[in-house]
Amino acid sequence: MSLTVLAVDDSRTMRDMIRMALLPAGFTVHVAEDGIDGLEVLDGIEPDAIITDINMPRMDGFGFIDAVRAQERRRGVPILVLTTESAPEMKSRARQAGATGWIVKPFDPTKLVKALQMVAG
């Protein structure tokens, strides 16, 4: 099953990492640099899942998830939060905003693939 994924992260390295993790698994990967960019990219695609960073300029991950969930047809799209914070309050904030799950950076590519398949696949 080939999933279409949108990855939102302000770090080029992270975007590259995500792409490298997902492309070999047959995923289609779209990337965006921050929340605002993410919403723009989202406009033209129907992703099966979204991965987003939290700390980003212009619009952070929480704001981005909020905005995605506010779109009726995106209410069920699984959104995984990429975070270096393993602190419980991060998770609860992410969940409050509507995140489906979280992945703590640095992630193992195979686990990222699996996590996506579990929530979306």
| Residues near other proteins, by CB under 8 A | 1-2, 10-17, 19-20, 23-33, 37, 40-41, 44-45, 55-57, 69, 75-79, 84, 86-87, 95, 98-111, 113-115, 117-121
Minimum CB separation of residue 62 from other proteins in Å reads 13
Judged by beta carbon, residue 29 or residue 67, the one nearer other proteins is 29
Cβ proximity to other proteins: between 62 and 107 the closer is 107
* Cα separation values, 39 from 64, 75, 81, 106, 110, Å: 7, 14, 15, 25, 27
CB of residue 105 to other proteins, shortest distance in Å: 5
CB of 90 to other proteins, least distance (A): 11
Return the SS3 of 92.
helix
**24/9 Cα distance (integer angstroms):** 20
Smallest gap from Cβ 83 to other proteins, in A, equals 9
Sign of the torsion angle spanned by Cα atoms 30, 78, 51, 71 = positive
In order of 59, 87, 103, the CA distances from 84 in angstroms are 18, 9, 8
